Amino acid sequence: MTEEMFQLIKGATEAFGPSGSEEPIREFIEARVKDYVDEVRTDALGNLICIKRGPADGKKVLLDAHMDEIGLIVTHIDDKGFLRFSNIGGVNPYIALGERVYFANGTTGVVGIEKIDDPKEVKLEKLFIDIGAKDKAEAESRVRVGDMAAFQRHAERMGSRIVSKAMDDRIGCVVVMETLRRTKSPRHTIYAVFAVQEEVGLRGARVAAFGIEPDVGIAVDVTRTGDTPKGITMDVCLGKGAAIKVKDSSLICHPGLRKYLERLAAERNIPYQLEVLEAGGTDSGAIQMTKAGVPAAVISVPCRYIHTPSEVVDENDVEACINLLVAAVESPLDF
């Protein structure tokens, strides 16, 4: 992977953007894709929609990756200046404890816990954020109730692997961004949707697909792996290529479109693996049920330690996902 590509991933993952507060990551993406598309707009919910026009006889193809990340939201500030919070998306209290977090205005803090007698008592309601304030007045000068925080971790290389917070789903955003950049002769008009609020219910993708009315929808998201010690039983591994989804909790991918992606991967010698995710969903679950229905599929980036501040992907899998998505938008999609 080139240094330029790594810096793109680093910038995307480190940008602030919990669900409902996606402005910083939206600005980051828009600045980097505007020269590769014909139109850019932001809809009423905050989705960034980038249109790259193809021939008149092509399809309307929606490419989706969600911009938002999991995070925390302040619910109360006590007299000593400690912040109580709730979760934005799937936050595990055992993983959150001891982590550093940051707010959009640059305020940083650490997640602490009340005195407990049993490890089973580690629950979100027992946790708090310490921003170093001496009292409530000082805390309120930095943070307000309703402010959101993201986990604070930097992207780093680990051989051919990259670790960072928010790989879910900033790495999918990078795949779509690179697809827009590398696609020189699209066979279809591409509607690249960088969606908001996926982590709290696939909300952005639902309204974007309703407005676009695509002929085909392909989401790019991360998926779990079964390659860690005593991990889940799953035939997805880091380093074995793009994962073409068969099923997750939100959808059964359109069989014809899924098999078409398999054929493309085989013809182009793009490494791929099939994915059956027993628990978890993606934006394609919302896209496929838009209006009278949309043939939908998912290209997944295998990822370890999902919904932690240290999500790990393999650079070769990322490249395979980009190559497969470029092949799809440059092909007839006559499944």
237/217 Cα distance (integer angstroms): 25
- Name the amino acid, one letter, at 188: H
85/149 Cα distance (integer angstroms): 10
Burial tier of 133 (Cβ tally within 10 Å: 0-12, 13-18, 19+): buried
Residue 4 is among the residues annotated as catalytic for this protein: no
CA distances 108 to 98, 100, 154, 306, 307, Å, are 13, 7, 14, 23, 20
11/63 Cα distance (integer angstroms): 21
151/141 Cα distance (integer angstroms): 21
What is the per-residue DSSP string for 154-178? --EEETTEEEETTHHHHHHHHHHHH
- Give SS3 for 301: strand
Rg (CA), the chain: 20
Active-site hit among 178, 198, 319, 330:
198
Q: Give the residue from 189, 228, 236, 248 showing the smallest Cα distance to 62.
A: 189
Burial tier of 3 (Cβ tally within 10 Å: 0-12, 13-18, 19+): exposed
- Spatial CB neighbours of 229, under 8 Å, sequence gap ≥ 6: none
Report the catalytic residues.
198
